[in-house]
């Protein structure tokens, strides 16, 4: 196995995302449309909050002597511009109004926990963002299938739909892989030995801790999402 820190983080990420993906994709056809729609609405909260989380990490990582991290996160943020509205409109086109969503405390807690990882420690922020950007690939893969299922059940054609396009941009066109790879270069860059007075070093121990903490909070969130989604019936209106 690779000794790279990014590979160690990927291993922890894959263990959790693989299990969630298996469970969801296996059960997709037997889950109610309400449960599937509810999952989409909860994930949308993360997609919507992501811009603010990235903005906070862009600022926080300016403390590094290495300017590339903040530049890469800004590139990521610019690329995400307009994606949350596309997700929202794409779902509205197939009969799901995100504005009908009722707050789910586990999601509120999750977003607060991720926000705490994005600042003020830049190495922790780098690790956390690397982990969440890596998980974004799995999220789009899972929601690609969930959205297809919702689409078909409601009599809409998935091919050519805005919501399919939204997922395609992130998967086929490699947006999320680009976000992961763009950060991996810095996750694997140990600058603690470099004597630079103009900023903080990238500290691998902190990067690792931030990434593992982010994976832990994603895992807790997904456990809560699955528990609720499998506990039929899910009501989005109460």
Least distance from Fe ion to the Cβ atom of residue 238, Å: 30
Which residues, in sequence order, are bridge partners of residue 200?
64
Least distance from Fe ion to the Cβ atom of residue 183, Å: 9
Least distance from Fe ion to the Cβ atom of residue 141, Å: 13
Neighbours of 155 (CB within 10 A): 8
Q: Do residues 221 and 23 lie in contact, with contact meaning Cβ atoms separated by under 8 Å?
A: no
In the complex, residue closest to Fe ion by CB: 83
Look up residue 103 and give its two tokens: 């707050």
Shorter beta-carbon distance to Fe ion: residue 176 or 203: 176
**How far is the C-alpha of 218 from the C-alpha of 114, rounded, in Å?**
9
**How far is the C-alpha of 163 from the C-alpha of 136, rounded, in Å?**
16
Shorter beta-carbon distance to Fe ion: residue 43 or 64: 43
Least distance from Fe ion to the Cβ atom of residue 26, Å: 26
Shorter beta-carbon distance to Fe ion: residue 14 or 181: 181
Least distance from Fe ion to the Cβ atom of residue 176, Å: 5
Shorter beta-carbon distance to Fe ion: residue 12 or 135: 135
Q: In the Cβ-directed half-sphere of 164, how many Cα atoms lie within 13 Å?
A: 12
**How far is the C-alpha of 157 from the C-alpha of 94, rounded, in Å?**
9
Q: In the Cβ-directed half-sphere of 191, how many Cα atoms lie within 13 Å?
A: 21
**How far is the C-alpha of 32 from the C-alpha of 28, rounded, in Å?**
8
Least distance from Fe ion to the Cβ atom of residue 63, Å: 22
Q: Which residues contact Fe ion (rule: CB under 5 A)?
A: 80, 83, 133, 136, 176, 179
Look up residue 95 and give its two tokens: 């009969």
Shorter beta-carbon distance to Fe ion: residue 37 or 133: 133
Shorter beta-carbon distance to Fe ion: residue 8 or 75: 75
Best CA proximity match to 214, nearest among 150, 135, 145: 135
């Amino acid at each position: 196995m690779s000794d790279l820190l990014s590979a160690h983080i990927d291993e922890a990420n894959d263990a959790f995302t693989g299990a969630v993906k298996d469970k969801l994709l296996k059960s997709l056809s037997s889950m109610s449309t309400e449960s599937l729609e509810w999952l989409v609405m909860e994930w949308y909260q993360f997609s919507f909050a992501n811009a603010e989380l990235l903005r906070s990490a862009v600022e926080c990582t300016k403390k590094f002597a290495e300017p590339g991290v903040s530049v890469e996160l800004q590139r990521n943020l610019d690329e995400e511009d307009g994606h949350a509205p596309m997700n929202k409109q794409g779902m509205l086109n197939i009969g799901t109004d995100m504005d009908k969503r009722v707050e789910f405390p586990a999601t509120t807690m999750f977003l607060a926990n991720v926000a705490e990882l994005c600042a003020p420690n830049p190495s922790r922020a780098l690790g956390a963002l690397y982990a969440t950007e890596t998980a974004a690939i799995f999220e789009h893969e899972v929601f690609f299938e969930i959205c297809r299922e919702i689409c078909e059940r409601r009599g809409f054609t998935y091919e050519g739909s805005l919501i399919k396009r939204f997922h395609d941009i992130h998967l086929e066109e490699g947006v999320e892989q680009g976000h992961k790879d763009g950060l991996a270069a810095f996750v694997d860059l140990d600058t603690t030995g470099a004597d630079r007075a103009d900023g903080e070093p990238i500290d691998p121990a902190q990067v690792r801790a931030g990434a593992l903490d982010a994976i832990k909070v994603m895992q807790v969130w997904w456990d809560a999402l699955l528990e609720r989604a499998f506990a039929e019936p899910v009501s989005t209106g109460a």
